[in-house]
């Protein structure tokens, strides 16, 4: 994809979303259930869409919330439902719609005080801490489209394990929601908004205080505070608006905080690679504003809109590639958490950098490589068999200092604060630590490219088997493995991965767009990476 002329530039007024139009469309436009693009569709991170495209409207939320209620009843889940929302404009009306259904179904719900905003990891932590102490089991809903553009809305369900729902659950919810839509919402139990807001089973709850207080049990907040390092924290206008200020006050940090007031147009953002506003804290284009200030801080960072992802900005390199930071975080944690057992493994997605494998081998730690999606790390984090689970798209979580679970969903805040801990304890920022890793293990070059694919072609790519690859070499090296199932858990990857000694590529069809993605990495040089990408594309063309 070519770089748009607006990439890295402050968003012009002309592309800002018309919030009244967006919210009006949410209530007035209805989906055509005969069109697949207007049905409820759960991807790896829930149902997402835009009211302007009739893919995220009031009818969708009525249907999907009732479907969650029906699922809870069938699964025997009767505890409190913890609900959070982010700062996308569509999140507010979607929460109000959901509350009408939840109140009518007599679900005990906790929403943030004063109808505030709540990060995804805070909901995960709330579910887990409650379920460790009491019965009946609790679960949660997070209304967010993650880092998607301001026009979008999203709806995620987290079952009692606290992490993203697996496909066996989301398939049931999706099918039931679309059945309800096709039945003109007759199956929806609902009350008026006024009655919902006055219902005894809908209660406001302080999510912020227990999360902030508990941070000291997963991050060494004392070493950060005592070091006095100058921290730059960019909330990017997201669900953690109030969290960094509370963290700064509670722990006495030398922290400057930016963009911590509500702006659902996200007018302060710099445009992403394609010229759109996207709160992607791993994009050097979207994060250009903070990168420009890197010399002002010892360490700086930002988060996406629901605060489940992290972007680390250092003086030494600017915005770190997420893969690079994962390697640094793993190496540091393995050596600076003395209470952790020595046999704990590391979880990574199969499209994450192989530098993680080299770091793990040096630490004598097992790597559990799984398909794309954080849901694959839930059991390992919950049971304390992996100390870290991370994915290439800047999402990760890790255990408490005592080796017990913190969250089973991605937590961008503990990853950003870990960067501060690393800088404070070692006197070197994560970028400098990564340079040391490359001197020891080699410097990988990683890239992802997208290519068009029809729905029929995407289906072919999903069903590939290793025998479909006839080639014996990749960029001049013998092919060592062809994978269609992840080696860590034997789950289908929905695509293909080809591995050689000093490089690899993986291809996956997109679940939401008519494209497929080629992830590739070389431990040699840019030219070698280019050969891998070219040969990967040629292999795909033969297969299609």
| Residue of 45, 51, 146, 352 marked catalytic | 146
As a whole number of angstroms, the distance between CA 403 and CA 321 comes to 27
Please report the DSSP string for 153-216 in residue order. Answer: EEEEEE-TTSSPPPHHHHHHHHHHHHHHHHTTTTT-----HHHHHH-TTEEEE--HHHHHHHGG
The answer on pLDDT for 183 being more than 70 is yes
What's the Cα-to-Cα distance from 96 to each of 21, 42, 173, 176, 426, rounded to whole Å? Answer: 18, 21, 20, 21, 47
In this model, does residue 395 exceed pLDDT 70?
Answer: yes
Q: What is the mean pLDDT of residues 425-431?
A: 98
Please say if 500 is a catalytic residue.
Answer: no
| pLDDT-based confidence at residue 544 (cuts at 50, 70, 90) | confident
Give me the mean pLDDT over the 267-294 stretch.
Answer: 96
The per-residue pLDDT for 512 is 65
> Is the pLDDT reported for residue 281 higher than 80?
yes
DSSP letters, 86-106, are -SSTTHHHHHHHHHHHHHHTT
Tell me the per-residue pLDDT of 59-118, one tens digit each, with 9 for 90 and over: 999 999 999 999 999 999 999 999 999 999 999 999 999 999 999 999 999 999 999 999
Strand pairing category for 81-85 and 109-112: parallel
Over the stretch 89-98, which tens digit does the pLDDT of each residue have? 999 999 999 9
Domains and CATH numbers, the chain: 13-206 (3.40.120.10), 211-441 (3.40.120.10), 445-543 (3.30.310.50)
Average pLDDT estimate for 51-65: 98
- Quick: pLDDT tens for 504-534: 999 999 876 788 999 999 999 999 999 999 9
| pLDDT of 335 over the 80 cut | yes
CA distance 123 to 142: 8
pLDDT at 380: 97
How far is it, in rounded angstroms, from Cα 320 to Cα 298?
14
Query: What band does 455 get if pLDDT is binned at 50, 70 and 90?
Result: confident
Cα torsion through 19, 22, 26, 31, rounded to 10: -170
d(CA 496, CA 486): 10
**Could you read off the pLDDT of 131-180 as tens digits, one per residue?**
998 789 999 999 999 999 999 999 999 999 999 999 999 999 999 999 99
Q: What is the mean pLDDT of the chain?
A: 96
Q: Do the beta carbons of residue 90 and residue 56 sit within 8 Å? A: yes
Band the pLDDT of 307: cuts 50, 70, 90: very high
- The confidence score (pLDDT) of residue 308 equals 97
Residues in a beta bridge with 506 = 497, 519
Section 376-384 average pLDDT = 96
Structure confidence by residue, pLDDT tens digits, 191-243: 999 999 999 999 999 999 999 999 999 999 999 999 999 999 999 999 999 99
Report pLDDT digits (tens) over 228-237: 999 999 999 9
Q: What predicted TM-score, i.e. pTM, was given to this entire model?
A: 0.96
Mean predicted confidence (pLDDT) in 28-38? 94
Is the pLDDT at 1 greater than 70, yes or no?
A: no
**Whole-number pLDDT of residue 144:** 97
Question: Where residue 264 falls among pLDDT bands split at 50, 70, 90?
Answer: very high
Among 536, 436, 405, 427, which residue's Cα sits nearest to residue 482? 536
pLDDT at 137: 96
* DSSP category for residue 116: -
Q: What average pLDDT does the segment 309-327 reach?
A: 97
* pLDDT computed for residue 446 by the predictor: 92
Name the band, by pLDDT with cuts 50, 70 and 90, for residue 322.
very high
């Amino acid at each position: 994809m070519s770089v748009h002329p607006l990439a890295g530039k402050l968003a012009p007024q002309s592309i800002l979303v018309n919030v009244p139009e967006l919210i009006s469309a949410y209530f007035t436009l209805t989906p055509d259930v005969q069109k697949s693009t207007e049905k409820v569709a759960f991807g790896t991170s829930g149902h997402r869409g835009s009211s302007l495209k009739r893919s995220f409207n009031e009818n969708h939320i009525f249907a999907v919330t009732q479907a969650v209620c029906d699922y809870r009843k069938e699964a025997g889940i009767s505890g409190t439902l913890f609900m959070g929302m982010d700062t996308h404009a569509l999140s507010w009306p979607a929460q109000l719609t959901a509350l009408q259904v939840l109140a009518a179904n007599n679900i005990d719900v906790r929403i943030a005080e004063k109808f505030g905003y709540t990060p995804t990891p805070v909901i995960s932590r709330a579910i887990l801490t409650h379920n460790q102490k009491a019965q009946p089991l609790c679960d949660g809903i997070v209304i967010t489209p993650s880092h998607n553009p301001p026009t979008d809305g999203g709806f995620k369900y987290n079952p009692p394990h606290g992490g993203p729902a697996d496909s066996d659950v989301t398939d049931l919810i999706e099918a039931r929601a679309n059945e309800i839509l096709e039945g003109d919402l007759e199956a929806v139990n609902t009350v008026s908004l006024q009655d919902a807001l006055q219902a005894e089973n809908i209660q406001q709850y302080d999510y912020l205080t227990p999360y902030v207080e508990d941070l000291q049990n997963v991050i060494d907040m004392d070493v950060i505070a005592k070091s006095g390092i100058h921290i730059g924290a960019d909330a990017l206008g997201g669900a953690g608006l109030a969290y960094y200020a509370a963290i700064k006050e509670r722990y006495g940090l030398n922290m400057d905080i930016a963009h911590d007031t509500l702006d659902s147009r996200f007018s302060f953002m710099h445009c992403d690679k394609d010229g759109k506003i996207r709160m992607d804290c791993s994009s050097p284009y979207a994060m250009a504003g903070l990168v420009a200030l890197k010399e002002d801080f010892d360490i700086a960072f930002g988060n996406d809109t629901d605060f489940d992802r992290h972007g680390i900005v250092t003086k030494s390199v600017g915005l770190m590639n997420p893969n690079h930071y994962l390697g640094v975080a793993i190496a540091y944690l393995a050596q600076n958490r003395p209470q952790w057992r020595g046999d704990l493994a590391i979880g990574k997605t199969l499209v994450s950098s192989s530098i993680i494998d080299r770091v793990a081998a040096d630490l004598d730690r097992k790597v559990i490589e799984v398909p794309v999606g954080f849901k694959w790390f839930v059991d390992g984090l919950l049971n304390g068999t992996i100390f870290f689970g991370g994915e290439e798209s800047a999402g990760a979580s890790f255990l408490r200092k005592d080796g017990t679970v913190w969250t089973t969903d991605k937590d961008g805040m503990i990853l950003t604060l870990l960067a501060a801990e690393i800088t404070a304890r070692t006197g070197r920022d994560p970028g400098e630590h990564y340079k040391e890793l490359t001197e020891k293990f080699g410097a990988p070059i990683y890239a992802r490219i997208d290519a068009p694919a029809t729905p029929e072609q995407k289906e072919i790519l999903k069903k590939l088997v290793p025998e479909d690859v006839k080639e014996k070499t990749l960029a001049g090296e013998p092919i060592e493995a062809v994978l269609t199932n992840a080696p860590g858990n034997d789950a289908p990857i929905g695509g293909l991965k080809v591995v050689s000694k000093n490089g690899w590529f993986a291809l996956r069809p997109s679940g939401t767009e008519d494209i497929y993605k080629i992830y590739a990495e070389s431990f040699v040089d840019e030219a070698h990476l280019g050969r891998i990408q070219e040969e990967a594309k040629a292999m795909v063309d033969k297969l299609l």
